[in-house]
Chains A and B, each alone.
Chain A
Amino acid sequence: MAAAAPADHRAAALSALAAIRPPVGVVAERERLAAFEMDAYIQHRETPMAAVLPDSEEQVREIVRALGRLGVPVISRGAGTGISGGATPTAESVMLVLTRMRRILAMDAAARLAIVEPGVPNAKVTEAAAPAGLFFAPDPSSQVVSSIGGNVAENAGGVHCLKYGLTVHNVAGLRVVDGDGDLLEVGGEALDAPGYDFLAILNGSEGNLGVITRATLRLLPVPEATQTLLAGFGTVREAALAVGAIIGAGVIPAGMEMMDRVVIDACERYMALGLPKAEALLLVEVDGGVEEADEMLATVRSILVSCGASDVRVAKDDAERANLWKSRKGAFAALASVMPDYYTLDGSVPRYALADVLDEIHALGREYGMVIGNVFHAGDGNMHPCIFYDATRAGELERSEELGGRILELCIDHGDTITSEHSVGIEKLKSMCLQFRDGEIAAFHDVKAAFDPAGILNPGKAVPTLKRCAEWGGLHVRGGRIPRPDIPRF
């Protein structure tokens, strides 16, 4: 990383922040800054120049303007649950921490809209909407902690995307401070807005185009009935084929999750759930009217059996449903019991390719002599292979990264994307050069410059420079992982 910021630069930034009225919370002591030195991408940490914690939109504008005048980069951060390093600091930047702006400003049940500040945790929105029979659909696994501002910045997904969409489909409006310090009101309560679709661009922009200060969220009615099944299969291939068969029958499940033997065993060790003895488990949830859900349940059940499921369990009530979900929701915690370290990939492949890609992933695991577990959103084709390693053993991290690169290549060969819901951040900058050509990368920089001409918002994240892509291409390093995540990449 670059050397710490020159002392006079830092002093100027701190004095500019101290001049903001009403006064804004600033953290400048090194020990207290430790709280902000990384997000959930733990491979890389850095102490920022300072952290600033505004209480209001007006303060956010003042902060961006003041730091913009000094050319000091601003890195927005919510709860810090991102796993691609989108909120990783640099030594010469100020962290703009939005956790104090956590008010639900309006809950309009008649309009099915919630207006919230960016620091509101995702799960709080559904909690507040529940008395009106409504919910906020995006449900990333971090939802108890992760904040709406971060969900928008990452276009967060979750387990219900196939039926209910991503964050971009559930945000009606945003208020955003751009790189000039201007307040943008984008979208709103109407179903569309004049001009270019900035909501599309801002969702998933990883803090590079603006600081989100307020979001208007669309709420949906809670379905009348939900049915949940868990099915065990003798092979991963059978389970993967069942996924396509269910959708081919015209059923759009609310959720369809899969896990393989490595994950099943880890869950058993960790939680002793009495899961079916199987090579793969498929968890399927359908919802709708009471009769409709029953009909879909019957359809799904008969497809699962005809695809070879040996043990199909149907939840009889909410308690049993929660129990069936326990394995899926606790899976990542359980995986920590396999080996000291693991990291998770995030490619998407077409559903018809799931069986082949899973076979190939397991073959690669054998080739490298490494354990790979798969627990993922099968209905979306969004795979999350987890590669296990022990960082204390020499060379193991590097080998796991090489293996990860090979798997990501497989995903690109079969599908389209290096990241489905975890975003690019700093982690996948290099993979961006595999997925896009120079023209597209240049267009992304054009979009960035339109919102942030001086390049002070989260610089160096999400989109690699053309120069770096050229250098990486020259090295002919295939695959997605950057061998040395500690090297600055911009």
Chain B
Amino acid sequence: MSDDFIKALCERVKDHAARKAALRIRGGGTKDFHGARLEGEPLEVAAYAGIVAYEPRELVLTVRAGTRLADIETALAAEAQMLAFEPPRFGEAATIGGTVACNLSGPRRPYAGAARDFVLGARIVNGKGEDLSFGGRVIKNVAGYDVSRLMAGALGTLGVLTELSFKVLPKPPAEATLAFEMDEARMVETVNKWAGQPLPLSATAWEAGVLRVRLSGAASAVAAARAKLGGTEAADGPAYWDALREQRLPFFAAGRPLWRLSVAQTAAPIPAGQPQLVEWGGGLRWVCGELDAARARELAANAKGHATLFRGGDRAAGVFHPLAPAIAKIHRRLKDAFDPAGILNPGRMDNF
């Protein structure tokens, strides 16, 4: 099946390239809300699913990009392992390909790494209909430019992901969630101070005057950290982190625009004039409500970061933070080289 699917995919892409007819790459369709425009005929890739190789002792997993996240997590859990970047699903149909294309990572990101950090290799079909493989299945690999990692977050604009290899990690045996009442400024200072100490932090989240901190690791390490940090054991524990990751908390009220401000972890509270939820040790500030795009970008830039209109809102002014001219120049050249006909997810990443 492998050869047939990829061969057919290459032919389809070639055909569209010849006609300059856009293709909209679609896995489970759970991230249709994300990115700028959806253009072109759907290119369904969810059928190309399944685990290609998984050897727990190697800490390496190779999967077809259409594999559902849920299936991957079940297979890993059977060996007490996990995708350490804790990807959100935003729906049961979510695939690993879409997750990597969006470089989506969950609450553990600041302490374990992002999706891109765990990508070891990628097989792609570029906009010329060529079947290419980059990276590999080993932890250390410096042969050739790291094109596989470049695919993470490229929103499918440089190639259709077909197979991916990841580094996986053991699941921490123990976990605890602590809650603290504190204001935002003190929270920023506190979570950064703790991140500089050898503590088994695996997530932080602050909203409405309450900071939650998750500890994960060896039972002894979690117990020692709990004694050191104080606070109260949060009753909602794991359910809270799931709801945060999937944006099901009441904070993410449906129908309101959701801005994602990715900023310096130590940045002072951002005066956005709308309710905020702060995770990633201060590095990620969700703003729920109407916010002028120019104002959002100014606020993010002042905090040494960038702003994305993650869900909803007026998408006319672009979704992603505008790129500096020198950076945009190289984006254009890369896009033109990987997808000369401009047919792969055109406009999904604003101009690319």
A191 in contact with B224 given A110-B193, A416-B136 (CB within 8 Å): no
- Interface contact B138-A420, CB-CB below 8 Å: yes
Residues of A contacting B80 in the complex (Cβ-Cβ under 8 angstroms): 250
Extra 20 A-B pairs, beta carbons < 8 Å, given A133-B196, A194-B323, A196-B334: A110-B189, A111-B264, A134-B196, A154-B142, A169-B113, A189-B266, A193-B306, A195-B352, A196-B154, A221-B196, A289-B221, A348-B139, A350-B55, A382-B140, A419-B141, A420-B142, A436-B144, A439-B131, A443-B147, A450-B330
Chain A residues lying within 8 Å of B150, measured Cβ to Cβ, are 196-197, 200-201
Partner of B197, one of A108, A133, A169, A417: A133
Verify B138–A450 contact, CB threshold 8 A: no
Contact, CB under 8 Å: A184 / B326: yes
Stretch at the interface among B23-31, B114-122, B250-258: B114-122
> Chain B 181-222 against A: per-residue CB contact (8 Å), 1 yes, 0 no?
000000001001101111110000000000000000110110
Complex contact A197–B116 (CB within 8 A): yes
Query: Quick check: is B153 within 8 A (CB to CB) of the other chain?
Result: yes
Contact partners of A193 in chain B: CB under 8 A? 262, 306
Q: Which residue of A lies closest to B351 (CB)?
A: A195
CA distance in complex: A200, B132 (Å): 18
Complex CA distance for A184 and B196, rounded to whole angstroms: 29
CB atoms of B333 and A162 under 8 A apart: no
Q: Which residues of A contact B333 (CB under 8 A)?
A: 449-450, 453
Contact A422 B221 (CB under 8 A): no
Q: Which stretch in B56-64, B86-94, B231-239 binds the other chain?
A: B56-64
Q: Is the CB of B130 within 8 A of A416?
A: no
- Shortest distance between the CB of B335 and any CB in chain A (Å): 9
* A380 to B60 alpha-carbon distance, docked (Å): 11
How extensive is the interface on chain B, given as a class?
Answer: 35 or more
- Asked if B263 CB lies within 8 Å of chain A CBs, one says yes
Q: Which residue of chain B has the shortest Cβ distance to A176 in the bound complex?
A: B326
User: Within 8 Å CB of B146, what residues of A?
Assistant: 155, 168, 200-201, 203-204
Q: Does A191 contact B114, Cβ atoms closer than 8 Å?
A: yes
A415 near B220 with CB under 8 A, answer no
Please measure, in the bound complex, the distance between the C-alpha atom of A171 and the C-alpha atom of B202, giving whole angstroms: 20
B218 engages A292 (CB within 8 Å): yes
Q: Which residues of B contact A292 (CB under 8 A)?
A: 217-218, 220-221
| B337 (CB) vs chain A CBs: closest residue | A446
Indicate whether B109 reaches chain A with its CB closer than 8 angstroms. yes
**Nearest CB to that of B306 among chain A residues?**
A194
10 A-B pairs in the complex with CB atoms less than 8 angstroms apart: A110-B266, A191-B109, A196-B153, A196-B334, A198-B330, A292-B218, A295-B218, A416-B121, A417-B142, A463-B144
C-alpha spacing A449/B335, complex, angstroms: 12
A413 CB to nearest chain B CB (Å): 13
Interface pair A446/B153, CB less than 8 Å apart: no
Question: Mask for A217-228, Cβ within 8 A of B = 1, else 0?
Answer: 000011110000
- Quote the shortest CB–CB distance from A393 to chain B (angstroms): 32
Residues of B within 8 A of A351 (CB): 57-58
B162 interface residue, CB < 8 Å from A? Answer: no
* Interface status of A428 (Cβ within 8 A of chain B): yes
A252 within 8 A of B: yes
Nearest residue (CB) in B for A112 is: B196
Q: Report if B68 contacts A (CB, 8 A).
A: no
Partner of B142, one of A109, A194, A422: A422
- Chain A interface residue count: which class? 35 or more
**Of A180, A200, A209, which is within 8 A of B152 by CB?**
A200
Contacts of A132 on B, CB cut-off 8 Å?
Answer: 196
**Most A Cβ at <10 Å: residue of B109, B136, B146, B200:** B146
Contacts of A248 in B (CB 8 A): 56-57
- Which residues does chain B contribute within 8 Å of A377, judged by CB atoms? 140
- Assembled-state Cα–Cα distance A224/B218 (Å): 14
* A349-B116 contact, Cβ under 8 Å, with A221-B196, A439-B131, A446-B334: no
Question: Is the C-beta of B320 less than 8 angstroms from some C-beta in chain A?
Answer: yes
Judge whether A381 is part of the interface by a CB distance below 8 angstroms.
yes
**Chain B, residue nearest A183 (CB):** B326
Q: With A and B bound together, what is the CA distance between A444 and B126 in angstroms?
A: 13
- Cross-chain contact B306 with A190 (CB below 8 angstroms): yes
Contact A288 B217 (CB under 8 A): yes
Top 9 nearest A-B pairs by Cβ distance?
A: A416-B136, A200-B149, A291-B220, A446-B337, A450-B333, A189-B264, A420-B140, A289-B221, A190-B305
Residue from A169, A382, A415 in contact with B117 in the complex, judged by beta carbons closer than 8 Å: A169
Q: Are B55 and A443 in contact (CB under 8 A)?
A: no
Partner among B144, B169, B189, B199 whose Cβ is within 8 Å of the Cβ of A440: B144
Most chain A CB atoms below 10 A, which of B57, B154, B173, B323: B57
Is the Cβ of B59 less than 8 Å from the Cβ of A247?
A: yes
Report whether B142 and A423 are in contact in the complex, using a CB–CB cutoff of 8 Å: yes
> Are B337 and A197 neighbours in the complex by a CB distance under 8 Å?
no
A window 122-139: CB within 8 A of B: 132-134
